[in-house]
Amino acid sequence: MTPTPSVLPQNAFLRWTRKLADATEWLAAVILGLIIAVNLTAVLARYVFSSPVGWSEEAMRYGIVWAVYLAAGATFRRGEQMAIDLFRHPIFVRIAANVTLVSTLALAGVVVALGFPFLLDTGQVTPSIRLPMWIPYASVVVGYLLIAIQVIAVYFDPPNPDDGEDME
């Protein structure tokens, strides 16, 4: 049986969000790997060669921020974010899903709207590596856009709690 035309865009969207979650999670993992490499280089340079790398801490700091915001959407998609479940009855689950959708989209909208002006090139640069400040600021806006996309996907395709280990 062929799916109805109204289901096709939703299925395509859900497949795309899964791929997006996987891609952003891998990118965050690569960034964390680079942070480890920079940290190892900085330690070796300081204690073995007595020549500290001045930009390493700043690069690691902004790398961590980017990794966290990139992985936030994937975390939400998999249902691995922290949550408080007060009621487990099926009626409350649907109400909680609606509240989560509306409140997360509202928060993401506010963060993106208020954060967008920071993405304009103001001429500010970071102290050590002289990176334009809009690049670190963009991590917050990009992260909340990813969260907004994934919260919509989770509303239509909730994560299966049996996919991971039970933490209780």
Question: Mind listing the pLDDT tens digit for each residue in 78-90?
Answer: 877 776 666 666 7
By the 8 A CB rule, do 150 and 77 touch?
yes
Q: What is the pLDDT of residue 168?
A: 43
pLDDT at residue 111, as a whole number: 94
- Poorest-pLDDT segment among 15-19, 41-45, 118-122: 118-122
Contacts of 17 (CB under 8 A, 6+ apart): 77, 149, 150, 152, 153
What is the distance between the alpha carbons of residues 91 and 73, in angstroms, rounded to a whole number? 26
pLDDT at 117: 85
Task: Report residue 37's pLDDT band, with 50, 70 and 90 as the boundaries.
Answer: very high
* Whether pLDDT at 61 is above 70: yes
Mean pLDDT, residues 135-143 taken together:
93
Residue 91, pLDDT > 90, answer no
Residue 151 has pLDDT above 80, yes or no: yes
Average pLDDT, the chain: 85
The token pair at 10 is 């939703």
Per-residue pLDDT, 161:
62
Buried b (16+ CB within 10 A) or exposed e, 136-160: bbbbbbbbbbbbbbbbbbbeebeee
pLDDT of residue 109 exceeding 60? yes
Q: What pLDDT score does 167 carry?
A: 43
Q: Averaged over 128-137, what is the pLDDT?
A: 91
What are the φ/ψ torsions at residue 125 (nearest 5 degrees)? -135, 160
Q: Check residue 165 and give its pLDDT.
A: 47
At residue 41, φ and ψ (nearest 5 deg) are -60, -45
What pTM did the predictor assign? 0.82
Distances (CA, A) of 23 to 29, 52, 57, 167: 10, 34, 26, 26
- 133-140 mean pLDDT: 92
